[in-house]
Copies of this chain bind each other. A is one copy, B any other.
């Protein structure tokens, strides 16, 4: 890396310094000069088919890498990633959206430049709604400071930010800035200390403590500390749909996923009868709470979030999950008496019966035995995700989904971000036919960059999550020959799966075929669904 001289260089160096190595996007004339600068520098440009794919890929990259970037042109590119940016906001994924824009010198008298909507700041105003910080780099005096402010906000809040880069600013010399040396304020640890003291007393006085481990443990990089905490205290742990695999599902204190009345009954019983329930960075969302069938007693709960800690009905402001967890680790939590806590049932694989029609149940059982230590499962919205709740994930963070925002079409482009962020992982993508038809052709991008996801299309001819709630032709999806997609993109292998033995054969071939994409068109009945989805849609249907 050379010394930054221009605004464009400074932005690239800042991203590089935070471990970004790939930028996902589609070029356009307002951002061409910045793409050119990217290509001649240390960050790899990853061209997706559509900006939507780039947005989802950057989100997944951020979840694995700690920061992700999507780079697009003004409005026609930027507004195509409004949805993926909203998802990153909702599920706390630090994505930097960089949008090219008309030069400041082109904006005088507000001419009707192409791609403009209403005013020159229309796109900025939209992104203000779905990011934690935003800026237009229209001033060389402040550009470096603004880049720092905005990217630091992404890192702090684990949420997306927006940087608009007028094209004439890319190569303008940036004015360095000097922060006045900060005089460290004497830190007020009184709030934290009182919270820790009270929490420690409550936990130690309890007879049946339990933990629900949330997704913020992952987002804030606290999984090692968390495992240490569990191993010191022996408190049993459940996760949630969104935080599945935040702790290894083989860990002896792991109970399973808590989803209120619609999840595993043993886990529900244990959690809801706990006299001291500790929620660590848990999102209290409808899906996580089993469509509000959860019965969690706030009067017996300690709830730590990235911003504050709630103990019973009072709040300790400005105590972070990180400080709280580390404080507990250094404190004096008693080791929990060995209590009978549930363990997840690890699904048993059964031998394929030649010619036997494949079902969702068999598919997921078989996949569970197929996945290896380097598999990362990426589940799209719908039964692709709900059915996967019962799979056993071997290591931490090997399961990605959007179990809160639940945007269809995430999984295929997400596999780009995941495998580029960690090339030791091979993605296993689980995706319904409806979601595949939204973004599945991004497999072309996987092939272009020599990536090798195995994609399982759950082909049931429609929106399987909606059918049980309220059905009609609007839930139908046109039948595609998904196994022929390699013929279009001239890469990879496709398989048609109707029976158990065909699945076994295809997965064996896929596991040997490691250099390219594999796509399995798994044909299941329209009314076949997992028990997990059945329970969830029953709860959902009440609201439709």
Contacts and interface: CB of A to CB of B under 8 A. Distances in A.
Contact of A122 (B79, B130, B476): B130
A473 B39 contact: yes
Please give the count of copies of this chain that the complex contains: 2
Interface residues of A, number: 86
Given A112-B286, A122-B86, A490-B480, A27 B408 contact: no
Interface stretch (A29-37, A135-143, A267-275, A393-401): A29-37
A445 B485 contact: no
A286 B50 CA distance: 25
Given A79-B86, A83-B76, A122-B129, A441 B448 contact: no
A484 B490 CA distance: 11
A540 B130 CA distance: 32
B487 A50 contact: no
Interface string A100-137: 00010010000111111110001001100110000000
A37 B261 CA distance: 31
A87 B77 CA distance: 12
Interface in A128-186: 129-130, 167
Interface in A463-496: 463, 465-466, 469-470, 472-482, 484-485, 487-490
A204 interface: no
A543 interface: yes
A61 interface: no
B32 A287 contact: no
A359 interface: no
A32 B118 contact: no
Given A86-B117, A474-B45, A488-B484, A540 B29 contact: yes
13 contacts: A27-B463, A33-B544, A49-B437, A76-B405, A76-B406, A80-B82, A82-B83, A115-B407, A117-B129, A125-B129, A441-B441, A480-B488, A481-B488
